[in-house]
Structure 1
Amino acid sequence: MNTPTGLTTALAPGKTDTLGLAGPAGHIELLRDAPAGAPRGLAIVTHPQPLLGGSPRHKIPHRLAHALRDDGWLVYRPAFRGVGASAGTYDHGEGESADLLALIAALRAEAAALPLALVGFSFGAYVAARTARALADAGASPACTALAGLPVGEVPAERSYDTPTLPADVLLIHGEADAQAPLAPLMDWARPTRHPVVVVPGTDHFFSGALETLIGLVRAHAARALPPA
């Protein structure tokens, strides 16, 4: 794979720009959110289900990316296969995970000294979970991982997610009334390893009325991985 350089250079502080990466299936479109000062870490924020119109511009990855940017992270929002200008077609999380690993490898090749945060929402949380598992198995875990609305097993839309077990320090956040990725299967999945789950009472898959709570939880978790200002 031919990977271009420049993912962490020529920044537009406080702004969002678009760039690309050569991935396993071709071009990967990236939205990049640069902090006002020198980056203190690198973060990747992944988006919800492409089959339902999910993209990096969905309000939850958008808001998470901007909040992390404001905390000093240089944030990347990759478009999954077939979304925006990204090549390929939907691959049930397998190809999307391979693309995410390619992005991480490219970022680490350019800025190995900066901590890496992996943040995912909905289908993006599933892709990030697969990626976090692969990195942990390789002894190269991100500095922090936070997953919101993680789907497990069969979901009401007749899709199935074979969600792997995860390192104990991965933050899981879920809405109590999530209808798209119900809470009960996640708790069944978490029970054998006693993986903690932060349940936000009374909110749904999209954290309606509780988006600021979600953002605050992710920011606090990610902040622990940042070097001193």
Structure 2
Amino acid sequence: MPEVIFAGPDGRLEGRYHPQPERDAPIALMLHPHPQFGGTMNNRVVYNLHYTFHKLGFAVLRFNFRGVGRSQGEYDQGIGELSDAASALDWLQANNQNAKHCWVAGFSFGAWIGMQLLMRRPDISGFISLAPPANLYDFSFLAPCPASGLIVNGTADRVAPPRDTEALVAKLHEQKGITITHEQIDGAGHFFEDPHMDPTMAMVSAYVKRRLGETSR
């Protein structure tokens, strides 16, 4: 997979980009977990998300937030990381100017950043949030949530307890004009360890396929 370096708001950002031969292929941006707790673009969940989207025909970019790997800068409490994500999406769109659809997928801290990116970018048509840490971060900015998406958590998640995810979903369900699909993986922890990874990715794949099928009618 081609390594790419592109300009971010605080220096160069390192990524991995997997294009498609079709000029109008949809695009998807992957966002990794917390940089200060070992989160990188090569996190197993993010890696699997990347290939799940690519198998569905998306041109996919995952990248390291500032201060991670070869990406320049320092951790910025989520503020700078949101700007990094916006720059990454700019780069992805510039390299796929005929893309039919634009999705963002994030895991843990990356899910929080991804849902903030939704508020900035009305061109995002769908999202995947895996294990959003609703107990650790404020998601009240989703008022209203501008796009429909899928939220998935494990029933045995001790980092982001299911009750907090359920409360977040309940708030989003009150909003009109969008559909939030919520799925739980029975017995899965925060990192969707085996044997839960494959069922999680199958769930993501089925959801995205269904959404793409609805928009092509």
Task: Give the direction of change, closer, same or farther, for the CA distance of 1:148–1:225 in structure 2 (3 Å limit).
Answer: same
The Cα shift of 1:96 comes to 0.8
Q: Secondary structure at the match of 1:178?
A: coil
How far apart are the structure 1 equivalents of 2:147 and 2:58? 23
| Correspondence for 2:47 among 40, 43, 62 | 62
Alignment partner of 1:211 is 2:197 = yes
| Equivalent residue, structure 1, for 2:4 | 19
RMSD: 2.0
Q: Say yes or no: does 1:180 pair with 2:159.
A: yes
User: CA-to-partner distance for each residue in 1:169-224, whole Å, 9 max, x for gaps?
Assistant: 12111111111111111222232332542111111111122111211122223333
Match of 2:36, SS state, is: helix
**Displacement of 1:153:** 3.3
* 2:104 corresponds to: 118
1:83 is displaced (CA, Å) by: 0.5
Displacement after TM superposition at 1:71 (Å): 2.0
**Other structure's SS at 2:2 match:** strand
Tell me, in whole angstroms, the C-alpha distance in 1 between the residues paired with 2:95 and 2:18. 17
Please give the per-residue CA displacement for 1:42-95, whole angstroms capped at 9, x wherever unaligned: 111111111111111111111111122122211101101111111111112211
State the distance in 2 between where 1:204 and 1:191 align. Answer: 21
Alpha carbons of 1:110 and 1:75: their partners in 2 closer, same or farther (altered >3 Å)? closer
Q: TM-score, normalised by structure 2?
A: 0.85
Alignment map for 1:94-133 (pairs within 5 Å):
94-114=79-99, 115-133=101-119
Aligned structure 1 segments of 4 or more residues deviating by more than 4 angstroms: none
1:162 is matched with 138
The answer for the alignment partner of 1:38 in structure 2 is 22
Sort the Cα spacing of 1:196 and 1:116 in 2 relative to 1 into closer, same or farther, 3 A.
Answer: closer
Cα 1:169–1:113 shift into 2, 3 Å: same
SS of the residue corresponding to residue 104 of structure 1 reads helix
Report if the CA contact (8 A) 1:146-1:221 is conserved: no
8 Å contact from structure 1 (residues 144, 221) kept in 2? no
Secondary structure of the equivalent of 2:71? coil
Deviates more, 1:214-223 or 1:124-133: 214-223
**Normalising to structure 1: TM-score of the pair?**
0.81
1:193 is the counterpart of 2:172: yes
1:86/1:72 Cα in 2 relative to 1: closer, same or farther (>3 Å)?
Answer: same
Counterpart of 1:176 in structure 2: which amino acid?
Answer: T
Q: Where does the alignment leave 5 or more consecutive residues of structure 2 unmatched? A: 174-179
Q: CA deviation at 1:32?
A: 1.1
Identity %: 27
CA distance in 2, matches of 1:96, 1:218: 24
